[in-house]
Amino acid sequence: MASDSFLRLKGRTTYFRRKIPADLQTQLASSEICFRLGVIDRDSAIQLARRMVVKVDAFFVSARKDEMLSSQELSALLGVALADWRRSVQPVPVPLISTRD
């Protein structure tokens, strides 16, 4: 599976997009899920997209079992995944002095 197929770049902002399966489109009143990831590098976006795919797939399984989540609950689910990912990423240290001679 190509994780970057779920990513779209608009300007400098990356979005996660996933098509909603045909059997759930009527219930969700939409054909796709689109979630703003923010301004992040490609490798980080791919890592995050993998996490989002797992969350969205779990949502689809749940929806098929008639344990329907609302659109707000889905957004919250993805928001938690994004927040968890942001907490797990260590910031790149910025040198305090110039490394150039």
pTM for the predicted model, two decimal places: 0.64
- Please say whether the beta carbons of 6 and 16 come within 8 A: yes
Longest CA–CA separation in the chain, Å: 65
- Please say whether the beta carbons of 45 and 7 come within 8 A: yes
Predicted pLDDT at 1: 44
Question: pLDDT tens-digit profile of 37-86?
Answer: 888 888 888 888 888 888 888 888 877 886 666 767 776 776 777 677 66
